[in-house]
Amino acid sequence: MDGYASHPARIYVDGERGDWAELPVRHTDAPNDGEGVDLERVWIAHDDEYLFLRLELGEAVNLQEGNDLTLYLDTDDNPGTGQQALGLGAELAWTFGERSGRVVRNGDAEEVTHAALGFTSLPTVTSETFEVAFDRSAAPTDDGSLFEGDSLRVGLSTDGDRLPDADGGLGYVLSDADPPLDAPSLDAPTASALRMLSYNSVNDFDREQSAIFFETRQPSFRRIFDATNPGVIAFQEVYDQTADQVAAVADEALGLPDEWDWAKQGQDLVLGSRYPILDTHTIPGYENNVSGAFLLDADDALGTDLLVVNMHPPCCNYGPDDGEPSRNAQRQRVVDGVVAFLREVKQGDGPFDVPPKTPIVVLGDMNFVGDAQQPRTLRTGEIVHTDRYGPPAAPDWDGSPLLDTRPRQVASPLHTTWIAPGSSFPPGRLDYAFVTDSVLEVVHEFVLHTPALPADVRSAHGLRADDTPTASDHLPVVIDVTPR
């Protein structure tokens, strides 16, 4: 049986590997020793709140669907209890591709959800490496906490491979660990920064209204906007209301100044701005799934105009259906369309005729839950459908990729921006903000998740713990930019 290790560390669940660089690999599996997806390496770490794992596979997969990868946690370190698998007595068996788990105690098995486990994984797109987190305080059944003691054992399997190969799993000890959290603040670091907020204000299709029009949710939206004080707001999912209707509710119920300009593009993309909106343009994508371009007079803040692109590609991964391309392919066409638009803008052929080095921000609910090519295209300009959208072109003015700002939740190590406890899908990073960092500096960025905020921080900013869950299943993404 494998021995024990303990690696307390400050891990940020962002889908990246940088904060794992100083940690030893917990186990390296023999290469190509099974069929199907090869399990290669695993890292394990923890802090006082979470158990973290980093998984490395032999090929890129979508962790949330279409795989049978199962994680076994023997949380009481007793092979005689729990589900018998891999020589473990696993209290938890979580199958990633099925988005479901089983807790087994005292011979009884109970199905559990991601919400009951405080489970998070990133990225939400295809990858060979993933970060996984479980809330150490999770109590998914009436029998109490999932993590009963300080030691546990870990195993992984697919239909064709297992890690480790020997029975008994990998031993791990949850020692005391309180590494400091580099927590972003709600406050802008400089008064001169231009603050932008992207928000999917979830639409209720039965009632044909965006959430900002529900009286029961408006107080939460108002407190969120009061606390964040944005200068530009990009809404998604405002399908059935006009820009004028949004302007009215923004002034009357959301506490936003009546001097703001409001405009709508496409079926659901609304932008509000304290800076004058000079012009707008519809960017073709896939059928009704278009993107909106908004040219703002941001001279007071940036000394120049600002070009904002608001996006909302199709969600989910079902299809193709009735001859339509899959949702993955539809998203790619929306992203390709935006990159083509930025290429034309840089060449002086765009609809706004902006001067070179005009700052550009691309944000929205991107629904990146499939092929990793979609965020890669938006960042680097690698257009896939060149027959329709023309040649690839790096989007920034200096021929470089856009900067993915990667905001993180305040007072939390998580980068997730969508949380729906009732969905089978675990929290994900669906909302993004990209900038032309050759001409813009991002001086601050964060995601607001009010349940994660300490009580004194909420009180200082006039927020309540249930504000973001009440307002929407998406979280507001905030960036502060200044001229570079």
Per DSSP, which regions of 62-118 are E strands?
70-74, 83-85, 88-90, 92-95, 100-105, 108-112
Residue type, 456: D
Residue 244: CB atoms within 10 Å: 10
How far is Cα 150 from Cα 135, in angstroms, rounded to an integer?
A: 14
In the chain, domain spans: 2-173, 194-483
Contact present, 461 and 188 (Cβ < 8 Å):
no
Question: What is the predicted pLDDT for the residue at 434?
Answer: 98
pLDDT band at 90 (very low <50, low <70, confident <90, very high): very high
To the nearest whole percent, how much of the chain has pLDDT over 70?
A: 100
Nearest to 336 by CA among 307, 310, 313, 361: 313
Question: What is the predicted pLDDT for the residue at 329?
Answer: 95
Instruction: State which H helix or E strand residue 222 sits in.
Output: helix 218-228
Contact present, 212 and 246 (Cβ < 8 Å):
yes
Question: What is the predicted pLDDT for the residue at 1?
Answer: 61
How far is Cα 195 from Cα 292, in angstroms, rounded to an integer?
A: 19
pLDDT band at 170 (very low <50, low <70, confident <90, very high): very high
Q: pLDDT tens across 389-430, in order?
A: 999 999 999 999 999 999 999 999 999 999 999 999 999 999
pLDDT mean over 62-82: 96
Residue type, 346: K
Four-point Cα dihedral 152, 158, 159, 160, nearest 10: -110
Q: Provide the phi-psi class of 396: left if phi over 0, else alpha when psi is between -120 and 50, else beta.
A: beta
pLDDT band at 2 (very low <50, low <70, confident <90, very high): confident
Question: What is the predicted pLDDT for the residue at 182?
Answer: 83
Does residue 466 have a pLDDT over 80? yes
Half-sphere exposure of 372 (CA within 13 A, CB side): 15
Instruction: State which H helix or E strand residue 377 sits in.
Output: helix 373-380
Q: pLDDT tens across 286-327, in order?
A: 999 999 999 999 999 999 999 999 999 999 998 777 778 999
Q: pLDDT tens across 317-357, in order?
A: 987 777 789 999 999 999 999 999 999 999 999 899 899 99
pTM (2 d.p.): 0.96
Average pLDDT of the chain?
95
Question: What is the predicted pLDDT for the residue at 31?
Answer: 86
Q: pLDDT tens across 225-279, in order?
A: 999 999 999 999 999 999 999 999 999 999 999 999 999 999 999 999 999 999 9
pLDDT mean over 378-387: 98
Q: pLDDT tens across 118-169, in order?
A: 999 999 999 999 999 999 999 999 888 999 889 999 999 999 999 999 999 9
- Both tokens assigned to 213: 């029009």
How far is Cα 138 from Cα 149, in angstroms, rounded to an integer?
A: 13
pLDDT mean over 441-466: 97
Determine the CATH number of domain 2-173.
Answer: 2.60.40
Question: What is the predicted pLDDT for the residue at 152?
Answer: 97
Assigned fold of 194-483: Deoxyribonuclease I; Chain A (3.60.10)
Instruction: State which H helix or E strand residue 117 sits in.
Output: helix 114-117
pLDDT band at 116 (very low <50, low <70, confident <90, very high): very high
Q: Which residues pair with 401 in a beta bridge?
A: none
Contact present, 352 and 279 (Cβ < 8 Å):
yes
